[in-house]
Amino acid sequence: EVPPSCSRGCELCSEYNGCLKCLPRLFILLERNDIRQTGVCLASCPVGYFGVRNPDMNKCTKCKIDNCEACFSRNFCTKCKEGLYLHRGRCYSSCPDGFTTPNGTMECTS
Amino acid sequence: APCPTPCRCDGDGGADCSGKGLPAVPAGLSAFTYYLDISMNNITELPASVFRNLPYLEELRLAGNDLAFIHPEALSGLQHLKVLMLQNNQLKTVPSKALKGLHALQSLRLDANHITVVPEDSFEGLLQLRHLWLDDNSLMEVPVAPLSNLPSLQALTLALNRISHIPDSAFANLSSLVVLHLHNNKIKEIGEHCFNGLENLETLDLNYNNLLEFPEAIKALPNLKELGFHSNNIAVIPDGAFSQNPLLRAIHLYDNPLSFVGSTAFRNLSELHSLIVRGASMVLRFPDLNGTENLESLTLTGTKIDTIPASLCEDLKLLRTLDLSYNEIEELPSFQGCTKLEEITLQHNRIKGIQADVFRGLASLRLLDLSRNQIRSIHKDAFMSLTSLTNLDLSSNALLTLPTSGLGGLNQLKLAGNMDMKGSLSAKDLQKLRTLSVPYAYQCCAFGGCDAYLNTNPDQGSKSDGSRKKIMYSPGEEVCEGSVAEDEGERIQLAVHCSPPTGAFKPCEHLLGSWM
């Protein structure tokens, strides 16, 4: 039985830091409020984060790919920032040689 | 536009009905809804045509419900759907019939369900699918047939399943695949041709499996940039292991019971920046790193290597950190060509002496650890070029003396354990020293040991009650400031943490006068 004070999907929480441990298979996202970090449990990570699943903990991790808005993993982008082209998981100002963008999409294809 | 309670609609086609305890898909949404989030509710099934009034839907989020059944016609009519999130539900099989008409689908999440079966026709017609999550399910094998229908797939995760074997040509038709995650399965053996067809693969993650042998199948991956097989049971990395993967930038191979690494395994990896091989206990010869010229960090520990090739710094000009500790190295070549070296760790080898040219030209070197060797002599010019050196560890050797020229910038020096070194050290050569360990307590006296200093400077540092002033004292280390003017808050001589500390039973003044 999850303590009533914990937020949805949370198994263990504290008043100061929100959720410390999520229910199995949910992702924990650490939100920063000034100097405080607050844990939140999610079924999918917000834009700009990707979910890393491990046997003991699932965590939302920031995409660290240049000019990337949404990503599949640490080194594979699924959506680039405005005006940039997506090619094999990376963002470019123009498509590499031999690749173009069909009918107005922002993804390079051969 | 209509927005049913308890949803929140943004008036631009987006509707958020997540986390409202809904038992079913809410009715009455605008026909122009393109984004619908009904995740984290209590929906247990999707009946036929439940989204028939939402023809423009592009993203549908159903994660975190209790979905156990999706009617074959449940998703019919969603011609524009690009993103479908079904993760964190109770599905036992891939809803293949329901997916059939989704021709525009690009991202499909099925992770964190209980899928044991992937019907052969599961992804038929999904010619635009780029990203597929099947991780954290109960798959016992790679769904080879279903995966052969996905020409546009670029990213696939099958991690956290129960896959124990990868058959040959398992991913043969996935010519667009860039990322493949297979970590946290039970993979014990893989077919020698199991990765055939993946000519565009850049990232392969085999970490946390039960592999007994090196995955030779990677030879079919000419574009591989990142390879992980750490936390497996691999004992041997063969010669030429990565000869067909010239673009490799990162190889994660730690936590394997490595006993042998082929000497040509890491040749010609010009994109590799870091190489860490620990505990390959049967390796006798230093690996041939010819052509791996952009290496910046090399860690090679726990082997039987006794010689470092003289050509090391011709091959590795960009090297910044070198850790060759816990080997059997007896003699050092000159590291002269490695001008960018910042850290050298050679602790626990069999080095007997340091010649004049070993560290010549290493103006960037900050840290040098030569502890736990058998060094008896160091050439007087050995440290001459080391203008950036701040941290030198020569503890537990067989030194008689220490040449100090070039060591003016040191702030940490360790000499403990050189029991034949009985002479005193000259404080004026080591002006910036902060931390010092020496074989004998009296050698601390030259660096402001309380007794010695106060005896030679009686007017300084004593309180009116005559007691001695210790500025900082931590167990086992006594620190005395040479002169304290606390009132004015000014410090003339900075503190030196020197150990072993002098004291009543280890006086600076012995019976017959000062040691100095």
Q: What is the DSSP letter of B462?
A: B
Q: With beta carbons less than 8 A apart as the criterion, state whether B36 and B15 touch.
A: yes
Chain mean pLDDT for chain A: 91
Q: Say whether residue B215 is in contact with chain A using an 8 A CB cutoff.
A: no
Q: Please, what sign has the CA dihedral across residues B487, B493, B499, B504?
A: negative
User: Residue B9 in contact with residue B3, Cβ under 8 Å?
Assistant: yes
Taking contacts as CB-CB distances below 8 angstroms, the residues of chain A near B184 are 53-55
In this prediction, residue B506 carries a pLDDT of 60
The verdict on A92 touching B (C-beta cutoff 8 Å) is no
CB contact under 8 A, B40 and A9: yes
Q: For B217, phi and psi rounded to 5 degrees?
A: -60, -15
Of B109, B136, B200, the CB nearest to A88: B200
How many angstroms separate the CA of residue B306 from the nearest CA in chain A?
39
| Contact yes or no for B63 and A9 at CB 8 A | no
| Confidence band for A110, pLDDT divided at 50, 70 and 90 | confident
For B410, residues 6+ apart whose C-beta sits below 8 A from its C-beta are B389, B390, B391, B392, B430, B432, B433
Q: How far is B373 from chain A (nearest CA, A)?
A: 41
The confidence score (pLDDT) of residue B44 equals 97
Return the C-alpha torsion angle B128, B134, B135, B139, nearest 10: -150
pTM above 0.80, yes or no: yes
| B38-42, long-range: CB < 8 A, 24+ apart | B38/B62, B38/B65, B39/A43, B39/A44, B39/B63, B39/B64, B39/B65, B39/B85, B40/A8, B40/A9, B40/A43, B40/B64, B40/B65, B41/B17, B41/B65, B42/B66
Question: What pLDDT score was predicted for residue B324?
Answer: 98
Do B131 and A72 form a contact (C-beta atoms < 8 A)? yes
Give the number of other Cβ atoms within 10 Å of residue B78's Cβ: 23
Sign of the alpha-carbon dihedral angle for A12, A17, A18, A20? negative
Q: Which positions in chain A touch B41 (Cβ < 8 Å)?
A: none
Asked if residue B251 lies in contact with residue B227, where contact means CB atoms within 8 angstroms, the answer is yes
* Alpha carbon B386 to its chain's center: 29
pLDDT band, very low/low/confident/very high, at A4 (cuts 50, 70, 90):
low
The confidence score (pLDDT) of residue A6 equals 84
The residues, ordered by sequence, that sit 6+ positions from B380 with a Cβ below 8 Å of its Cβ are B356, B403, B405
What's the token pair of residue B173? 């038709």
Query: pLDDT value at position B447?
Result: 82
The stretches in chain B having pLDDT less than 50 are 449-493, 513, 516
Rounded to a whole number of angstroms, the distance from the CA of B109 to the nearest CA of chain A is 10
- Closest partner residue to B155 among A8, A43, A73, by Cβ? A73
The phi, psi pair for B356, rounded to 5°, reads: -65, -35
- The predicted-structure confidence for B197-242, as pLDDT tens digits, reads as follows 999 999 999 999 999 999 999 999 999 999 999 999 999 999 999 9
Give residue B427's pLDDT.
84
- Using the Cβ of B87 and the Cβ atoms of chain A, whether some distance falls under 8 Å is answered with yes
- The residue of chain A with its CA nearest to that of B61 is A44
The four Cα atoms A56, A58, A62, A65 give a dihedral, to 10 degrees, of 80
Whole-number pLDDT of residue A102:
81
- pLDDT tens figures, A9-27: 999 999 889 999 999 999 9
Using the Cβ of B41 and the Cβ atoms of chain A, whether some distance falls under 8 Å is answered with: no
Angstrom distances, CA of residue B277 to CA of B272, B293, B342, B418: 14, 17, 20, 31
**Could you tell me the two tokens for B212?**
């007994």
Interface residue A73 vs chain B (CB under 8 A): yes
> Is B224 an interface residue toward A (CB < 8 Å)?
no
Task: Choose among B107, B135, B202: nearest Cβ to A78.
Answer: B107
Contact B397, B370 (CB under 8 A): yes
For residue B136, give the nearest of A53, A78, A88 by CB distance. A53
Q: Which of A58, A75, A86 to mutate to test the interface with B (most CBs of B within 10 A)?
A: A75
**B401-410 tens-digit pLDDT:** 999 999 999 9
A54 touches chain B (CB under 8 A): yes
Quick check: B23 contacting A, CB < 8 Å?
no
CB B320 within 8 A of CB B342: yes
Q: Do A54 and B184 touch (CB under 8 A)?
A: yes
B89 touches chain A (CB under 8 A): no
User: What distance, in Å, lies between the first and last C-alpha atoms of chain A?
Assistant: 54
Higher pLDDT, B428 or A46: A46
